[in-house]
Structure 1
Amino acid sequence: MRVLPGAKRRRSEDVPPPGAPQWMTTYGDLITQILIFFVLLFALSNVDAKKFDLAITSVQGSLGILESGKSLIRGEFVEEGIAGENLFTGEQQERELRKLGDQILEIIEASGYKGVTVSIDERGLAVRFMEGALFDSGKADLKSEAIRLLDKIAPVLKQSQRPIRVEGHTDNVPIHTKEFPSNWELSTARAVNVLRYLVEKHEIPPQIISAAGYGEYHPIVPNDTAQNRSRNRRVEIIILSSSSIAQEPK
């Protein structure tokens, strides 16, 4: 090798290897791992346990781990800004509920029953029976036409295989009878009688159905006219949405 005049030849051991020193690689890896560790701690400290369980169940459902390969988790995450969960079940559940609602609506319209409506709300698919469609005023015994109506829609409720809640509601006019000391007893008795008929006659699994009596405290309209009070006296059969299922007592 030709050396310029006046230049000293450097020994090979004095020339540093190209790139960063080796200790910098180890140090960089260590800092990265520490950063990841603290990011994980922060993320885990903000995990909502309920939503974590919902996410896991949703993934299980999408993989067919649950019965029939369906998840019971609804698009709750989408409403709160996590759109991925909707990929698994949100749209599927809405289609399922609407299909069941259409079937029940066709039965009601073909049978000519009055005072029965079908709608979807935050609870799920709601089949609403005004008082006269199922019971006489102040009574909790199912009318004969009510039994015929329940016989027609029960197969649809059963095929859904989804949890069901039967809700009883009254207006705000007090009732004081030997059988029903208050509206609590009346609303609960009505819900329970519908439940028992569906379980005992149509063999809807008792594990998936429940009854609740709300008395006068969940009106759909103000109790300020006779017409409004008649609307508030009702029984509702709810095919529960997944967000409602998550709130049910285990």
Structure 2
Amino acid sequence: MRKHKKEHHEEHIDETWLIPYADLLTLLLALFIILFASSKVDEKKYAQVMQGLNSAFNGGVSVFEESDTISLDDVSVNDTKKMQESMQDQKLKDQINKEKQDMEAIKKKLDVYINDNGLSLQLRTVVTNDMLKVTIQDYALFDSGTAVVKPEAQKLAAVISNMLSMYPDYKVEVAGYTDNIPIRTNEFDSNWDLSSRRSLNFMKYLLKLESINQARFRSIGYGEYQPIDTNLTPEGRAKNRRVDVNIIRNTIEVKSTIP
């Protein structure tokens, strides 16, 4: 009888459990990453994490690997932002140009009136970076030491008011100034009082036109404290006694300091 050899089969360890174990670890890792991302109030980082997870599960770039890929959403957001900024810049430039043209137009009309009426020594106009300034010497408006507007100055106020009514988008400041010679009368205790009353009284004549929006206006007295010339000479003091009508721009053009 032939002796049968006993066959020995090599025993193999069952490793099928490794697959669900690896999947479980992957899911736990994903869960912790999502929890971490959710704890930060940063939508951009959250989107990046989710993009990385999607790539990792689909055989793409790992969440821990760097990627130069830019999503279409990122491109769209950036393009939209740039477009909005460009539109805002252009709108601001258009507004600045319009206001410059308005200031120059008012100045031109006033200059014609000044020249036609021989008022060049009493009035002057200048366009600055933020306003059109109309300076009127005090003797053209008031008698010395008073705040009563002269009849001829009332006509000037009507002319200025009519021009301002055509440009209703600008605020107007009427400012009074004096020299440094003290005043103390029954009507005025100081130069503060005199400058304030003068600016207010002249502004009232600017407001006589019914089409003028009074909410645009304000008056202020600066007394002797903002001179434009020396107070050591009669000529300098005469220049300091004045009323300014300031038509104020809504936007200020920033001058570049780069040559």
Shorter-chain TM-score: what band? Answer: 0.5 to 0.7
- Residue ranges of structure 2 left out of the alignment (5+ in a row): 1-58, 75-83, 253-259
Quick one: distance in 1 between partners of 2:136 and 2:245? 8
The equivalent position to 1:237 in structure 2, one of 233, 245, 258, is 245
The equivalent position to 1:191 in structure 2, one of 199, 223, 236, is 199
Quick one: distance in 2 between partners of 1:177 and 1:31? 81
Aligned equivalent of 2:150: 143
The equivalent position to 2:94 in structure 1, one of 76, 82, 88, is 88
TM-score by length of 2: 0.62
Aligned equivalent of 1:133: 140
Contact conserved, 1:187 with 1:213, CA < 8 A, in 2?
yes
The letter of the residue matching 1:89 is Q
Correspondence 1:65-144 to 2 at 5 A: 87-113=93-119, 114-144=121-151
Runs of 4+ in 1 over 4 A off after TM superposition: 25-33, 83-86
Query: 1:137 offset after TM fit, Å?
Result: 1.0
Q: Deviations over 1:124-167 (max 9, x none)?
A: 00111001110111110000110111122221012111110000
The letter of the residue matching 2:222 is Y
Paired residues in the alignment total 181
Quick one: distance in 1 between partners of 2:156 and 2:128? 22
The letter of the residue matching 1:120 is V
Q: Deviations over 1:9-62 (max 9, x none)?
A: xxxxxxxxxxxx6243685479989xx9xxxxxxxxxxxxxxxxxx99x94xxx
Higher share of residues assigned helix: 1
The letter of the residue matching 1:22 is G
Report the CA distance shift for 1:29/1:96 in structure 2 as closer, same or farther (over 3 A): farther
Aligned equivalent of 1:24: 62
The letter of the residue matching 1:168 is G
Aligned equivalent of 2:235: 227
Quick one: distance in 1 between partners of 2:130 and 2:191? 23
Query: 1:190 offset after TM fit, Å?
Result: 0.5
Quick one: distance in 1 between partners of 2:111 and 2:210? 19
Contact conserved, 2:162 with 2:209, CA < 8 A, in 1?
no
Query: 1:200 offset after TM fit, Å?
Result: 3.0
Report the CA distance shift for 1:88/1:243 in structure 2 as closer, same or farther (over 3 A): closer
Q: Deviations over 1:61-80 (max 9, x none)?
A: xxxxxxxxxxxxxxxxxxxx
Q: Deviations over 1:201-240 (max 9, x none)?
A: 4552110011010001111112121100000000010100
Quick one: distance in 2 between partners of 1:176 and 1:29? 80
Query: 1:88 offset after TM fit, Å?
Result: 2.6
Report the CA distance shift for 1:151/1:28 in structure 2 as closer, same or farther (over 3 A): same
Report the CA distance shift for 1:204/1:228 in structure 2 as closer, same or farther (over 3 A): same
Quick one: distance in 2 between partners of 1:163 and 1:29? 55
Q: CA RMSD in A?
A: 3.0
TM-score by length of 1: 0.64
Q: Identity of paired residues, percent?
A: 29
Query: 1:242 offset after TM fit, Å?
Result: 2.1
The letter of the residue matching 1:169 is Y
Secondary structure, aligned partner of 2:144:
coil
The letter of the residue matching 2:108 is D
Quick one: distance in 2 between partners of 1:131 and 1:94? 28
The letter of the residue matching 2:112 is E
Aligned equivalent of 1:4: none
The equivalent position to 2:183 in structure 1, one of 161, 175, 178, is 175
Quick one: distance in 2 between partners of 1:126 and 1:231? 15
Which has the larger Rg? 2
Aligned equivalent of 2:256: none
